[in-house]
A = this chain, B = another copy of it.
Amino acid sequence: MSDWSEHYATRVSNMQASEIRELLKLLDQPDIISFAGGIPDPALFPHQAIAAAYQRILGDPERSAVALQYSISEGYLPLREWLAGYMGRLGVACTPENILITNGSQQALDFIGKLFLSPGDTALVAWPTYLGALQAFNSYEPRFDVLPGPDTNRSLESYTAGGMAKPKFGYVMPEFQNPTGTSLSLAERERLLDTAAEFDLPLAEDSAYEKLRYDGERVPSLLALAAARAGGIDHCKVLYCGTFSKSIVPALRIGWIVAAKPVIQKLVLMKQASDLHVSTLNQMVMYEVASALIEDLADTMRQVYRERRDAMVAALDRYMPEGVSFTRPEGGMFVWVTLPEGIDGAALLKRCIEVGRVAFVPGAAFFADRSCRNTMRMSFSLIPPAKIEEGIKRLAAVLKQMISETAV
């Protein structure tokens, strides 16, 4: 094999295989109960509505010619128009010119890194945060530091000490955060916006799980709150990332960014240079399916996932040994578990796969500095309640064994 290392850009040294990716391969072994995924249940996909939409569009010669041809980088206009209305119902007054269609929200995160980060710039993220965001931003060679949050109070000076430039943006998932499942209250959101205003810090708001609320009251998005403060979306510095991956299906790869028009104009150029546009046909299908069904689908999903969340929390309550704590999320797909000090999530996983035939994601992967090894992310979205209980029971047994050995 040739040696490629000297040919690569410096960013390539940041690109490492991810634990989640390797773990996803475990899903194929039928006797393993995997809480690793964090993917939606395909039984809830609107298969027939999607098939019917493809058939309608491809069966109409005029629409089919449009659907299969190159199209504009901004995204399919009727979909952006519908999204503008949808965002309006969420308290964000905007127009299609405030919206870019992306290949899922992962591409939105990549674009946000590409827009803001030169090598050595500082990006602020939660500690822990979404692994995919760390991967996306890492391509642009940033330093990571801790975004001020409910438990962190930081002055601007604390970031710029030693001659560092001020942070370029903050990334936050205010609802049912991946990996912890926790949400920011209204007061916490207002405080974050205060901090962002003080720092003149753009915020990237990732709302991937927004439709999956099982309890409690909806809280306005950071974008809605910031636009209200600034007198309109074009005057505020929040970029909102939405996706149909969790509310309809992932595999059409459709997400969107909502932001001030000048930002969207730059992102449209970025989209054009990156891959021209999202599949025209898939955008047309998603427009038809989302505009007709999104609320009904969300109702069904909430019902199914709520039961699974309940089952997971109940099983953790029932089986987990003393010294283990976990979140009780109001929505989303994840529970975050903190193990006793000294128990390594990765070591536990290895043992769980070998002995218990149960899997999860060790928490260290979600920290920019890989700290906090005694944590784990558990997804309940894909597993029926009875199997959730069985999986947690197995996991707890392995954990208890490990704790007893560690104590010795």
Quick one: which of A243-268 are within 8 Å of B by CB?
245, 249-253, 260-263, 266
**What is the CA–CA distance of A70 and B365 in the complex, to the nearest angstrom?**
20
**What is the CA–CA distance of A273 and B18 in the complex, to the nearest angstrom?**
10
**What is the CA–CA distance of A65 and B40 in the complex, to the nearest angstrom?**
11
Quick one: which of A273-311 are within 8 Å of B by CB?
273-282
A21 touches B272 (CB 8 A): yes
Stretch from A230-238, A324-332, A372-380, A388-396 forming part of the interface with B: A230-238
**What is the CA–CA distance of A206 and B58 in the complex, to the nearest angstrom?**
30
With contact pairs A45-B65, A274-B110 given, residues A279 and B262 touching in the complex (Cβ less than 8 Å): no
Query: A236: which B residues are within 8 A, CB to CB?
Result: 2
A residues whose Cβ falls under 8 Å from a Cβ of B? 1-2, 4, 7-12, 15-18, 21, 24, 39-40, 42-43, 45, 47, 50-51, 54-55, 58-59, 61, 64-73, 102-104, 106-107, 110, 114-119, 121, 132, 135-136, 138-140, 168-169, 202, 230, 234-237, 245, 249-253, 260-263, 266, 269-270, 272-282
A70 touches B39 (CB 8 A): yes
With contact pairs A276-B104, A279-B252 given, residues A269 and B10 touching in the complex (Cβ less than 8 Å): no
B253 touches A275 (CB 8 A): yes
Q: Looking across the interface, which residue of chain B has its beta carbon closest to that of A64?
A: B47
B275 touches A106 (CB 8 A): yes
Kindly provide the distance from the CB of A94 to the nearest chain B CB, expressed in whole angstroms. 14
Q: A2-B230, A7-B237 are in contact. List 8 more A-B contacts (CB 8 A).
A: A1-B260, A12-B266, A43-B65, A54-B54, A102-B275, A106-B276, A107-B275, A139-B273
With contact pairs A252-B68, A279-B279 given, residues A12 and B274 touching in the complex (Cβ less than 8 Å): no
B11 touches A118 (CB 8 A): yes
With contact pairs A9-B115, A10-B118, A276-B106 given, residues A2 and B252 touching in the complex (Cβ less than 8 Å): no
Would you list 28 pairs from A and B whose C-beta atoms are within 8 A, ordered by A residue? A2-B236, A4-B260, A7-B202, A8-B266, A9-B118, A16-B269, A17-B269, A21-B73, A42-B64, A42-B68, A45-B68, A45-B69, A47-B68, A51-B55, A51-B58, A68-B250, A69-B251, A70-B251, A71-B251, A103-B103, A104-B276, A107-B274, A110-B275, A135-B272, A253-B276, A253-B277, A253-B279, A282-B282
**What is the CA–CA distance of A8 and B266 in the complex, to the nearest angstrom?**
10
Query: A7: which B residues are within 8 A, CB to CB?
Result: 116, 168-169, 202, 237
B269 touches A15 (CB 8 A): yes
With contact pairs A15-B273, A18-B272 given, residues A8 and B58 touching in the complex (Cβ less than 8 Å): no
**What is the CA–CA distance of A20 and B100 in the complex, to the nearest angstrom?**
19
Query: A114: which B residues are within 8 A, CB to CB?
Result: 9, 11, 139
Query: A280: which B residues are within 8 A, CB to CB?
Result: 251
A9 touches B266 (CB 8 A): no
B260 touches A2 (CB 8 A): yes
Q: Looking across the interface, which residue of chain B has its beta carbon closest to that of A51?
A: B58
Q: Looking across the interface, which residue of chain B has its beta carbon closest to that of A249?
A: B68
With contact pairs A68-B47, A69-B249, A249-B68 given, residues A273 and B132 touching in the complex (Cβ less than 8 Å): yes
B65 touches A58 (CB 8 A): no
A270 touches B21 (CB 8 A): no
